[in-house]
Structure 1
Amino acid sequence: MSQSTYAIGHQQPDTDTVISAIALARLKQAQGTDVVAARAGELNPETEFVLDRWSVDSPTLLEDATDEELLLVDHNEYSQTVAGAREATITQVVDHHRIGDVTTGDPISFRAEPVGSTGTILTGLYDEAGVDIDEETAGLLLSGLLSDTVVLRSPTTTDTDREVAERLADIAGVDYEEYGKELLAQKSKLGEKSPREMVLGDFKEYDIGDDVLGIGQIETVEPETVLDQRDAVIEAMDEVVAERGYAVLLVLVTDLLEEESTAFIAGDHTEAVGDALDSTFTDREAFLPGVMSRKKQVVPPVEDALK
């Protein structure tokens, strides 16, 4: 069976990871390389809205990447990769997170930048390759950028993100603030999700020595929808910890309008994690004013505390 080449993001895919896979596959195709855009899980309501808005088909669902060739976007840690990634050939990485544990047998193109979204980096890659960004691709890239930076409000946002957002919005023919409000409304749709689905909907694992840290994030403009179910959410977290053996499991309920989060905790090290976040967990809940970014404001201090 011949090897296929897939551009693919992390498990529990969000908008930036799905859009980045599509955009990188399109760039490679424009350069004469046959690459298929793929996803490692089901789409969330915001991403479904974006694909419908720009009339783009959903990427291929890849359930096992064993013996395939992969171009990783928006992640570079095995704990977040598609199943079978350790038995795949990884030939490129485009990411805006910390450098993780993905290793390769040969030198590869590895692009990691401290910006707010992978879409921002990909816009630069199009420029460097001399490939024009059409209206549809600009709309997709803008969607990923606005989603990951919470419409340029996240502390991860850089001047480069702002410049790229303005440019992409101009190409796509949209007002990025107005379009961003539409995305926030979609991001907040929890629908009939169970507490477990809320915990694992936007979820990432981090290997820290012999321990594993799990962090879920629920971004919403109606945080009370989740906070009113705190006991059921914490019960679901306990079940996940028992199943997966996490040292710590955090769930951030992020209020996109007030730009703050409430954290729930399961597992061990409650006091150490609270200290790391400059807060105190009372009845397994802590208030985190100004905290919106899992990547920048939560993972680094908690990782240091667990080490």
Structure 2
Amino acid sequence: MSILVFGHKNPDTDTICSAIAYAELKGKLGKDVKAVRLGEVNEETKFVLNYFKVEKPELIESVSGKEIMLVDHNERTQTADGFEEAKVLELVDHHRISNFNVDEPLYVRMEPVGCTATIILKLFKENNLLPAPTTAGLMLSAIISDTLLFKSPTCTECDVKAGKELAEIAGVNIEEYGLEMLKAGTDLGGKSESELINMDMKIFEVDGSKIGVAQVNTVNEAELLERKEKLLVEINNIIKKEGLKFFIFAITNILSNDSTGIVAGDGNAIIEKAFNEKIDNNLIALKGIVSRKKQIIPPLTKAIQEA
């Protein structure tokens, strides 16, 4: 039976592409590993998979009874159903460690870089291997996505170096391809409110409080803000269903590198303290904020802990 490798629920480009890349690496090292996914792929990831002519991984509902490897996440609120009944063998990630408990020792590779694919390239090279050109293209796409073409504050020199190496292997012009790819990810017109929020939503647990933070990239935030009331209905449904304290839906403009947050729930004081901005009619300006991992979750965590 194949070992399953996967990233978080509501998968993004790094989660999908890193799962595929890690499965390739493990295959080259003699393991029977299969990349799978925990949800539907978004428009950006569809563009990437189509561009490099790669099939999307199989969708799975539960990992109960399976041997598994995790990439691009570790929090229990973001991983697969059946996690407690699975055997976790390995973890490769670039996020904070939180709510992660296992019964047995495992291999863990965590680095404070902008993208999981950057770490996976290091692992290829440490084993004197290189990814196939197509896989290199997927890994490059993951780095472009997670670092917003090297403009995000999460981006490190390691990510830039890895991106250049992978572009050479893949035979891709980073700037041209990267802009085309990011633009493809902002095509949101045909999405329902539920689809917009669930495209890239994560639930975090901080000091016993569960909070939700979803994010979309756009070049026209006004178009999405026109749908605010309908989005709030959907957000409040999620708050009720998941038992969340509050929810922020961050709409990020990839041209201006600013975000606007649609806020709901019982957390206005915490959110205002975290970002030193007032919430007005369920909206908060998040100037210069593009990264959930580095610019949204840390100040919210601090504000909750100090409340």
Q: Tell me the TM-score range normalised by the shorter chain.
A: over 0.9
What amino acid does structure 2 have at the position aligned with 1:299?
I
Cα distance, 1:197 vs. partner? 1.8
Q: Is the 8 A contact 2:11 2:200 kept in 1?
A: yes
1:287 CA drift (Å)? 0.6
Partner of 1:247: 245
**C-alpha distance in 2 between matches for 1:27 and 1:306:** 40
Residue equivalent to 1:267: 265
**How far does residue 236 in structure 1 lie from its aligned partner after superposition?**
1.7
Which of 11, 14, 22 aligns to 1:13? It is: 11
TM-score (norm 1): 0.97
Map Cα deviations across residues 78-116 of structure 1 (whole Å, 9 max, x no partner). 100011112111110000000122222222110111111
The one of 140, 143, 158 equivalent to 2:141 is: 143
Taking only the aligned residue pairs, the percentage that are identical comes to: 39
For residues 104-115 of structure 1, what are the structure 2 equivalents within 5 Å? 104-115=102-113
Maintained 8 Å contact 2:25/2:131: no
Per-residue deviation, 1:135 = 1.1
- Residue 117 of structure 1 corresponds to which residue in structure 2? 115
Task: Tell me, yes or no, if the aligned pair for 2:24 and 2:131 is still in contact at 8 Å.
Answer: no
Q: Which aligned runs of 4 or more in structure 1 are off by greater than 6 angstroms? A: none
Q: Which amino acid aligns with 2:274?
A: A
| Structure 2: distance between partners of 1:193 and 1:132 | 37
**Distance in 2, Cα, partners of 1:11 & 1:229:** 25
Contact 2:67 2:87 in 1 (8 A): yes
Q: What SS does the corresponding residue of 1:257 show, helix, strand or coil?
A: coil
Partner of residue 190, structure 1: 188
- Note the alpha carbon deviations across 1:150-174, whole angstroms, 9 max, x for none: 1111110001111111111111111
SS at match of 2:61: coil
1:239 partner letter: N
| Matching residue of 1:25 | 23
Alignment of 1:56 with 2:54, yes or no, is yes
SS state at 2:14 partner: helix
- Counterpart code for 1:106: E
1:26-64 superposed Cα distances (whole Å, 9 cap, x missing partner): 000000000001100011111111111111111111111
Check conservation: 1:184, 1:221, Cα contact below 8 A: no
Aligned to 1:203: 201
Moved more, 255-264 or 196-205: 196-205
The 8 Å contact of residues 271 and 280 in structure 1, kept in 2 or not, is answered as no
Matches within 5 A, 1:84-233: 84-233=82-231
Query: In the alignment, which residue of structure 2 is the partner of 1:42?
Result: 40
> Gaps (5+ residues) in structure 1?
none
- Structure 2 counterpart SS, 1:46: helix
**How many residue pairs get matched?**
305
Structure 2: which 5+ runs fail to align? none
In structure 2, distance between residues paired with 1:224 and 1:179:
26
For 2:106 and 2:198, the matched residues in 1 are separated by 32
Aligned to 1:161, the other structure's residue is in SS state: helix
Q: What amino acid maps onto 1:203 in structure 2?
A: M
